[in-house]
Structure 1
Amino acid sequence: MVDARPEARIAFGTARARWVLAATALGSGMAFLDGTVVNVALPSMGEDLGAEISGLQWIVNGYLLMLASLILLSGSLGDRLGRRRTYIAGVVWFAIASLICAIAPNVEVMIAGRILQGIGGALLTPGSLAILQTSFRPSDRAKAVGTWSGLTSVAAAVGPFVGGSLVDSGSWRWIFVINLPIAAATVLVTLRHVPETRDETATGKLDVAGAALATIGLAGFTFGLISAGDRGFGDALVLTTLAIGLLGLVAFVEVERRSSHPMLPPGIFGNLRFTGANLVTVAVYSALGTATFLLVVYLQTALGYDALTAGASLLPMTLLMLGLSGYAGALSEKIGARIHMTVGPLFMAGGFLLMMRVEPGAKYLTAVLPSVVVLGIGLVCTVAPLTATVLSAVEDDHAGVASGVNNAIARTAQLLAVAAIPLAAGITGDSYRDPAAFSDGFRTAMWISAGLAVAGAVLAWVTLAPRKDPGRPVDQQNYPHCSLVSPPPPSATTTP
């Protein structure tokens, strides 16, 4: 169990706090950097490996599939075996998988490497946030999470320049090689400065069956949706894989409901605050995943940008995240997350709608920049408060599970959106290489993304309204809490 003594917790602003933040931001930043540079390099990778839009989707979704499927299991693994130990294992695994991607001779090996990267990402992603939640004093956690969000934005800010430069002047393969020194530095700092924490009360076996069924279900849906772009929904293979996906997810729900040690404890969703934050996550990350997948490719194929310019065009968004995320986290702690998480998705919707003005021949300053800035403001208002809200809804000993649930939901939303929304928008086959066809599909996709963001704002306003209790902080007022160990009866709910 996490040591609850005040002297055992880290105070924000101390040297020890800075080292812990550096360790968690380095590993998470490596994963974020990888995502940024992969998106920038997709057109070059597609041309070099002979991939159609389905191949590009799988390069993105192979990673997201394993991340979404295993992140819950790894959150429990970290709570039991040690969050620092699991985090380090994920960083090392991610580095090895990056090397496989770097030497991939064809799109099949590339997708396999990305699948392996997803396993590493599943191990390190929940661990970084769980380390922050269990290491810092309660009064400093929102600031720590906000600062972590800002620091990881450095990777997103550097990624377009590093990735674009490597793609334009060398080879896309180098975007995976740069993960190796980052991973080495992360391991060294973590071993030296990060305390080990675990949940000593955790009992029972790991939910391997649940993880397997989640993987089968999501893989079936993803394969079916991506294949439908070329084969159509009447194709036998498409129908079969969609059916397998549906059966896998139904079986997953049933296993979790009956299991004495579920990786997705059903009782956790009895907490309205936790459930509301995760519903917002579904809407917002579905929209964001689609936009980030399509925009950088669209700028290169329809507007003629090179990889460096396309990546750098998103820099204002990441700079806003870097400069303001810490303030957003601290402010949301004072006034409550409801306002932030309502206004933020509305700004995001505005950014997606402005992206519809980006078409062949459009100028950066008048078309691309305004949409990126508005989207960046929306992300600043949304991301740090959303993360802090999810983690504050549960007890410290279960921080790994809570972080894993939220991350799994976010990645699942991105996974299915990247598979489904391009199909719904008519972007199939090699149409992404045709500027006119891609423009029509891109505008439709931005309409869908804007609608999802608005839905996220409505969900935040409805589900995150606090009840008045003058004796407690706004973000800790009278929300029912259900244990993460097993689903209790309704009468067993307590306030956190």
Structure 2
Amino acid sequence: MLLRLHNFRHVTGNDSPHGAATQAKLTLVAASFCIFLVQLDFFALNLALPRMASELRTSTTSLQWVISAYMLSLAAFLIPGGRLGDILGRKRILMSGVVIFGLSSLGGALAPNAGTVIAFRVLQGIGSGIIFPLAIAVVTSAFPEKRVKRAIGYAYGIGAVAMALGPPFGGGITELVVWRVVLLVNVPLSIAAIAIVAGGVRESRDPTVPRSIDLPGLALVASGIALVTLAVDLASTWLPVATAGIAVVGLLILAVFVLRERVAKYPLVKLDLFRNRPYVIVTLMGTVANIALVIGVFGSTIYLQQGENRSPFAAGLILLAASVAAGVAGPISGRLGEHLDIPRTMAVSTTIGGIGLFVVSLGGGFGSYLPGLALFGFGYGVGFTMANIGTQTVVARERVGEASGVTLAIVIGVAGIGVAAAGTLIDIGTKNVGLTRAIEDVLRWAAAGSILASGVLLLVDRHRAVDRHRS
């Protein structure tokens, strides 16, 4: 205990309780702003694609790589980003991620053609893959254990405000000004984020490992995740044999990565993390919630714009019901996590989200659609946030960067596969029953599947708890 208190004082850089509390609050502000920056960019740029395609003289389908390439590099660098912070210093690597994100945003805004925009979006994804896990890791390092859950909840709650602002901001700026401004806004925001991190975050790292990186492991995990994600993204446009081949190669590379980590002197990911059953259960429950969340947003966006012919700005305003509720879910998740059993709370919240998504799938008027979106956003928002809270509290504090990176890679990566599968099912269903009916069917299956999967995982967790009590 004395060693832990000593380490906390070293992280905050203050011996007085008041100084430590002030430093922790500054760290929370910095982490929240970093999450806000990344979330705003993603949710705003989606609505700018049609105008981008028109100006750059390409199709919207081709320009979808602006989003897909970003997601590929983001997924590939979540694990390396968190681990690099543990090894080289979380503050230093977090600032490096923000620098990469800001400079690539500027490059994308000034790009003369679609290919250049996509290239800079790849770099942006690398920056985001570094920012996401380390923003949570610095919060965990700065706060005492009894306050970590609430602090992470606030960080995600503030970051989720971008989910609310992103769609109307991106749609409005694109309609009233030009799509390039959506990317240019990231530049001053990145400068502000760097300044806040520089002044508000104390350096921390994992003192148990040397300052060396498993470069072969880094290359294997990044390329493996990228290939699997690429195969999923291309599933609806390429031949099944081609996408299956890419997926198999990606999975084989990930298998080689696992073998490499078992024999590496200083592995990028210590595989004993997956022997931590509470960590695995909470990560899987968060994955279930996030799959349903992103499928719901994806399906609702298409439904509003193509099914009901609403403008991007109008669709963004309607989706405020879900995104505002998801933002509120962040701080509430932190408080709930301090007093309630996390797996049980996640199962209940996922059920609430599933009920909301089912109401949305009925396709009624605003009297049912808006309340359904609010329930959907709140329930799944709690599930997603609690995954990050729970996994940070069941691992050693010096490994929080690694744990956060692995959790986010699983939660975000599998959700990406879910979206691709949903898109394929909507395409197939549209040919048989029409677009709106196809979307409604997919949303209903997502709602039912999330409730069932979270219930099964809760039963597994209860069985684990009973066995542990007996022993």
TM-score calculated relative to the size of structure 1? 0.84
Q: 1:164 offset after TM fit, Å?
A: 2.1
Q: Deviations along 1:427-450, whole A, 9 cap, x unmatched?
A: 69xx8xx9x843244234323422
Match of 2:94 among 87, 94, 101: 87
Relative to structure 2, which stretch is displaced further, 345-354 or 221-230? 221-230
Q: Secondary structure at the match of 2:237?
A: helix
User: How far, CA to CA, are the matches of 1:105 and 1:305 in structure 2?
Assistant: 30
Instruction: Say whether residues 1:175 and 2:182 are aligned partners.
Output: yes
User: What is the aligned partner in structure 1 of residue 161 from structure 2?
Assistant: 154
User: What is the aligned partner in structure 2 of residue 325 from structure 1?
Assistant: 330
Q: Decide whether aligned partners of structure 1 residues 456 and 218 sit closer, same or farther in structure 2, where only a CA change above 3 A counts.
A: same
Runs of 4+ that moved beyond 6 A: 9-13, 466-469
TM-score calculated relative to the size of structure 2? 0.88
User: How far, CA to CA, are the matches of 2:357 and 2:59 in structure 1?
Assistant: 27
Q: Decide whether aligned partners of structure 1 residues 84 and 3 sit closer, same or farther in structure 2, where only a CA change above 3 A counts.
A: farther
Match of 1:268 among 251, 270, 273: 273
Aligned residues: 461
Identity of aligned residues (%): 26
Q: Counterparts in 2 of 1:34-433, with a 5 A limit? A: 34-49=41-56, 50-53=58-61, 55-56=63-64, 58-203=65-210, 205-234=212-241, 237-358=242-363, 363=365, 365-426=366-427
Q: Decide whether aligned partners of structure 1 residues 287 and 109 sit closer, same or farther in structure 2, where only a CA change above 3 A counts.
A: farther
User: How far, CA to CA, are the matches of 1:322 and 1:123 in structure 2?
Assistant: 22
Q: 1:204 offset after TM fit, Å?
A: 6.9
Q: Secondary structure at the match of 1:245?
A: helix
Q: 1:324 offset after TM fit, Å?
A: 4.5
Relative to structure 2, which stretch is displaced further, 262-271 or 346-355? 346-355
Q: 1:67 offset after TM fit, Å?
A: 1.8
Match of 1:447 among 444, 449, 457: 444
Q: Decide whether aligned partners of structure 1 residues 258 and 25 sit closer, same or farther in structure 2, where only a CA change above 3 A counts.
A: same
One-letter code aligned to 2:304: L
Q: 1:14 offset after TM fit, Å?
A: 4.7
Q: 1:177 offset after TM fit, Å?
A: 1.0
User: How far, CA to CA, are the matches of 2:214 and 2:420 in structure 1?
Assistant: 27
Gaps of 5+ in 2: none
Q: Does the aligned pair in 2 maintain the 1:39–1:297 contact within 8 Å?
A: no
User: How far, CA to CA, are the matches of 2:450 and 2:464 in structure 1?
Assistant: 25
Q: Decide whether aligned partners of structure 1 residues 60 and 445 sit closer, same or farther in structure 2, where only a CA change above 3 A counts.
A: farther
Q: Secondary structure at the match of 2:136?
A: helix
Relative to structure 2, which stretch is displaced further, 314-323 or 112-121? 314-323
Q: Secondary structure at the match of 1:368?
A: helix
Q: Deviations along 1:389-447, whole A, 9 cap, x unmatched?
A: 1000111111111111111112211332233331233269xx8xx9x843244234323
Q: Does the aligned pair in 2 maintain the 1:65–1:215 contact within 8 Å?
A: no
User: What is the aligned partner in structure 1 of residue 39 from structure 2?
Assistant: 32
Q: Decide whether aligned partners of structure 1 residues 452 and 465 sit closer, same or farther in structure 2, where only a CA change above 3 A counts.
A: same
Q: 1:43 offset after TM fit, Å?
A: 4.0
User: How far, CA to CA, are the matches of 2:134 and 2:210 in structure 1?
Assistant: 19
Q: Does the aligned pair in 2 maintain the 1:147–1:326 contact within 8 Å?
A: yes
Q: 1:27 offset after TM fit, Å?
A: 1.0
Gaps of 5+ in 1: 470-476, 480-496
Q: Secondary structure at the match of 1:200?
A: coil
CA RMSD of aligned residues (A): 3.0
Q: Does the aligned pair in 1 maintain the 2:286–2:384 contact within 8 Å?
A: no
Q: Deviations along 1:183-213, whole A, 9 cap, x unmatched?
A: 1111111111211111122137423323322
Relative to structure 2, which stretch is displaced further, 457-466 or 266-275? 457-466
Q: Decide whether aligned partners of structure 1 residues 240 and 149 sit closer, same or farther in structure 2, where only a CA change above 3 A counts.
A: closer
Q: 1:118 offset after TM fit, Å?
A: 1.0
Point out the structure with the larger helix share: 2
Q: Decide whether aligned partners of structure 1 residues 147 and 243 sit closer, same or farther in structure 2, where only a CA change above 3 A counts.
A: closer
Q: Secondary structure at the match of 2:427?
A: coil
Q: Decide whether aligned partners of structure 1 residues 322 and 227 sit closer, same or farther in structure 2, where only a CA change above 3 A counts.
A: closer
Relative to structure 2, which stretch is displaced further, 152-161 or 394-403? 152-161
One-letter code aligned to 1:249: L
Q: Does the aligned pair in 1 maintain the 2:153–2:385 contact within 8 Å?
A: yes
Q: Does the aligned pair in 2 maintain the 1:78–1:84 contact within 8 Å?
A: yes
